[in-house]
Structure 1
């Protein structure tokens, strides 16, 4: 009976810790604190050296839970990454995720050698442990502080953070093997690196396509689609690790493929993985916090703080500047990307691997990695939003997100129903502008369901349902938010958006925050092109309008009938443009190759 009581108390204690972690997220959201920091401190407080007094030293269990959590986090990151975003920043992101990790570890190593008098191999191990960045912490802080990054910067950080973990994990495991088994010839190391990378990529491609095929072909009961996808992701990861390939790279690529292919129950899968990822992170962070002893951390605090400072102010910035030198990023964007490299879950997870294999200085590596992560979250975490505003990398997101209803339509995978409540100040209600790919089909008014044709003009208080592609549904939020016009055009609302030639300049100004002269607000786009173009309009003709550009998409009888919107391009200097042409051609070729592999 004592054994049963012990198990019951363990379940109760574990459930309480997770419950406190979930509730503490509300505090973190209110004060903009990194969630990882909250969970780590909670675990430390519950540990043997804290007021909780819980004795926990099972490194194997912490490693197992951490592996599962990281696999889910990487799969979820790939699932949410649109391939168009991936392709647009493929070259700089992969450069940061590969060469940048090597540079960061190598530039951190001399500081470790000097401060701790470790061997170069051990110093490289410490550098590899703290070399990767944490995407979850970065984007939680940005969204919690009400910021929206420039699309190119956000995509670069997102792809880098999602793809640099596998390399950091490989480097750490390789260096641990070298410290345990002795020197290995460099050709063997290079072949091992290539083998794991190629093996992980192949398994990710096969696993992602197989998951999509099974998800769309099998008649699974309602509610089992999301657990099936989650289990398939862990299967891909497990097979990769068992075959000594990069399971972390495999699971990320599998998520990228599943997220960019039409699948059943797409929104259900996203919602389920949200909850599963949150729970996995909470459990992992609490367990890692339980492993840490405050007095042991304090014993190496001075050296750890110096390593953290060298990483934040020297190693990461130099690595970013070197890696982004061939790419057209402004100095503000490069500085911000270097500062946004928050350390997180992967760093502490990797620091537990030497403990697992019982290396001689394993506790020292763990203490250094743990303190570096804490300092990064405290310093960079709380200064991330001010840095984004100071560098003018982010636009303020003052509007509350509208409640969006998404419903899958059985029998097809290309469209879904997206529903919104129409408020008094919605831009859609005021100007009736909507993207060409969003088609109104239903209106709910006074508890009556009406077809869009019979509903007539949309009124405040209506609920409108539109057909839209699942991957673009979120972009509609901006049209159904009660808020004043933005100060600057939102790049998410441009690109493939089209409006009719009868839309007025005043309507566009209200939606996109453009300064339109009072005398021109009633002018239609067709009349605007007729007055300014000087010749009959042809598809592709462009007219600037403030900070956006109007592009003729269709015309009839000399009148513009359809206009595309995009951001106005700044004309770079000839020397810069000429220098970018070979790089752009290379990026297009690499993007075409990756797209051919990932998509049908």
Structure 2
């Protein structure tokens, strides 16, 4: 009977957590405070050192939850990243994700040594833990912002690819502290092994997954998102089993999958987006539960944490950014913004559990300091990103997103799917009636949305810029249909001039 009551109690709390998380997200958007800060505060409030609703001190469970959440968050970020945009900033992003992390780690290590008086390896361990920006924090804060594409893409690509570097540095330094058999040459070889295999496996699994999703014919459309999620988890686990970078493999695989034409694309993306939000809520609340407010908010931690946060935000990160991308075409304002938008979040806190599990001396101090630094980074930097972008004149056009979605009964057995297509500014079908567009016979336009209103789709209906078309098509003609839809005016004019 007691076990049954405890189970019900846990389920009730889980439901309350998720509801609070959704409400908190709404409040964070209204007041400009990053949601992750509020999630962690909820965890601290209801924990054993807060209101005492839950007693939680399982570091291993917190680490496992964090890793699973990061897999899903990274995968969702990769799915929604356009390669056409990312490839323009791939070089500076990767430089920030490698050289930038090393520079940040080194400068933070010097600060940690001076502030805390710990030995150099422990100081570098603390630097490695907070050395990388956080994908969960950056993705959530940048979503919906009208920051210029070049800057937002650079930050998102950096945060998606620098986690492996931070994980590698953290684990390597822990090995140096706890083992006498580890040497620098072994660690250098391990770095190339982890990153090389992580990249290769990510590309391989991405292409295999894309082909599998499009070739397999499942009876229910709801199974496609589950299939994609299982492939993401499998990618991470198999990569990690051979001591390669599972996080890098997951992000690369998601980048490949997200830039392919997929069956039930919208269902897959919306499912992963919702799941990523849920995992953010669960992860940050659990990390908040793991923290001890009396320890973190003690005067000793506060003033030392503020000093380290100052070094991170105003010295280490700016130096790392300005040196790392000095050879790329970024303005001074661009570099200032990238420096300020390098948010810390779940990754440093999850990494801070590694020394605790390994039994490293001063690991509790590291966890408390890292937790405080993440709170200050997310609260101060995260809440001022939009303001700074406007002051530096780095905002672009407001990013519009289509609010329209058709919900269909599964048509998996019919081997057909619904395609949503927004007509761009230079699309060749603008100004043409439907009966003059050479759509495949197995494709049928079911609806047109124009200025948030439904427009009848007859043969004489003329396509306008910004129209959103919903087309039911046989899977066999999807590629042909999309090539017709994506054809530009310049290409059509060139063909016409050539034929004349």
Contact 2:142 2:152 survives alignment (8 Å): no
Distance 1:556 1:287 in 2: 64
Q: Pick closer, same or farther for the CA change 1:463–1:89 going to 2, 3 Å.
A: closer
Once the two structures are TM-superposed, the CA of residue 407 in structure 1 deviates from its matched residue by 8.0
Q: Pick closer, same or farther for the CA change 1:467–1:280 going to 2, 3 Å.
A: same
SS at structure 2 position matched to 1:394: coil
| RMSD between aligned residues | 3.5
Paired position in structure 2 for 1:352: 353
SS at structure 1 position matched to 2:57: coil
What pairs with 1:481-560 in structure 2 (closer than 5 Å)? 498-499=488-489, 553=494, 556=497
Once the two structures are TM-superposed, the CA of residue 245 in structure 1 deviates from its matched residue by 1.0
Kindly indicate whether residue 52 of structure 2 is the aligned counterpart of residue 66 of structure 1: no
* Larger-gyration structure (1/2): 1
Kindly indicate whether residue 416 of structure 2 is the aligned counterpart of residue 417 of structure 1: no
Paired position in structure 1 for 2:183: 185
Paired position in structure 2 for 1:216: 214
Contact 2:112 2:123 survives alignment (8 Å): yes
- Report the TM-score, using the length of structure 2 for normalisation: 0.86
Once the two structures are TM-superposed, the CA of residue 498 in structure 1 deviates from its matched residue by 4.6
Structure 2 gap ranges (5+) = 435-444
Paired position in structure 2 for 1:516: none
Kindly indicate whether residue 249 of structure 2 is the aligned counterpart of residue 250 of structure 1: yes
Contact 1:433 1:499 survives alignment (8 Å): no
Paired position in structure 2 for 1:282: 281
SS at structure 1 position matched to 2:217: coil
Q: Pick closer, same or farther for the CA change 1:314–1:457 going to 2, 3 Å.
A: closer
Distance 1:407 1:10 in 2: 33
Structure 1 gap ranges (5+) = 421-427, 477-495, 501-538, 540-550, 560-600
Residue in structure 1 matching 2:153, options 155, 161, 182: 155
Q: Pick closer, same or farther for the CA change 1:92–1:497 going to 2, 3 Å.
A: farther
Once the two structures are TM-superposed, the CA of residue 558 in structure 1 deviates from its matched residue by 13
Once the two structures are TM-superposed, the CA of residue 89 in structure 1 deviates from its matched residue by 1.1
Q: Pick closer, same or farther for the CA change 1:467–1:351 going to 2, 3 Å.
A: same
- Report the TM-score, using the length of structure 1 for normalisation: 0.72
Paired position in structure 1 for 2:265: 266
SS at structure 2 position matched to 1:244: coil
Distance 1:13 1:319 in 2: 42
Distance 1:26 1:12 in 2: 22
Q: Pick closer, same or farther for the CA change 1:97–1:5 going to 2, 3 Å.
A: same
Q: 1:513-536: per-residue Cα shift (whole Å, max 9, x none)?
A: xxxxxxxxxxxxxxxxxxxxxxxx
Q: Pick closer, same or farther for the CA change 1:16–1:456 going to 2, 3 Å.
A: closer
Q: Which has the higher contact order (CA 8 A, sep 6+)?
A: 2
Q: Pick closer, same or farther for the CA change 1:412–1:114 going to 2, 3 Å.
A: farther
SS at structure 2 position matched to 1:360: coil
Once the two structures are TM-superposed, the CA of residue 554 in structure 1 deviates from its matched residue by 6.1
Once the two structures are TM-superposed, the CA of residue 5 in structure 1 deviates from its matched residue by 1.8
Q: Pick closer, same or farther for the CA change 1:463–1:307 going to 2, 3 Å.
A: closer
Paired position in structure 2 for 1:378: 379
Paired position in structure 2 for 1:227: 226
Once the two structures are TM-superposed, the CA of residue 452 in structure 1 deviates from its matched residue by 3.8
Once the two structures are TM-superposed, the CA of residue 63 in structure 1 deviates from its matched residue by 0.7
Which piece of structure 1 moves more, 386-395 or 432-441? 432-441
Q: Pick closer, same or farther for the CA change 1:229–1:463 going to 2, 3 Å.
A: closer
Distance 2:232 2:402 in 1: 31
Distance 1:361 1:411 in 2: 59
Distance 1:444 1:103 in 2: 52
Distance 1:412 1:121 in 2: 61
Distance 1:456 1:341 in 2: 46
Paired position in structure 2 for 1:309: 310
Q: 1:344-384: per-residue Cα shift (whole Å, max 9, x none)?
A: 11111111111222222111110111000000011111211
Q: 1:186-234: per-residue Cα shift (whole Å, max 9, x none)?
A: 1111011111112212221222222122212222221100001101100
Q: 1:71-124: per-residue Cα shift (whole Å, max 9, x none)?
A: 111111221222222221111110001111111101111110000001111111
Paired position in structure 1 for 2:428: 436
Q: Pick closer, same or farther for the CA change 1:246–1:4 going to 2, 3 Å.
A: same
Greater strand percent: which structure? 1
SS at structure 2 position matched to 1:66: helix
Contact 2:218 2:412 survives alignment (8 Å): no
Paired position in structure 1 for 2:394: 393
What pairs with 1:358-373 in structure 2 (closer than 5 Å)? 358-373=359-374
What pairs with 1:46-57 in structure 2 (closer than 5 Å)? 46-57=46-57
What pairs with 1:28-39 in structure 2 (closer than 5 Å)? 28-39=28-39
Paired position in structure 2 for 1:12: 12
Distance 2:172 2:392 in 1: 38
Q: Pick closer, same or farther for the CA change 1:499–1:28 going to 2, 3 Å.
A: same
Paired position in structure 2 for 1:575: none
Distance 2:413 2:338 in 1: 43
Distance 1:93 1:444 in 2: 39
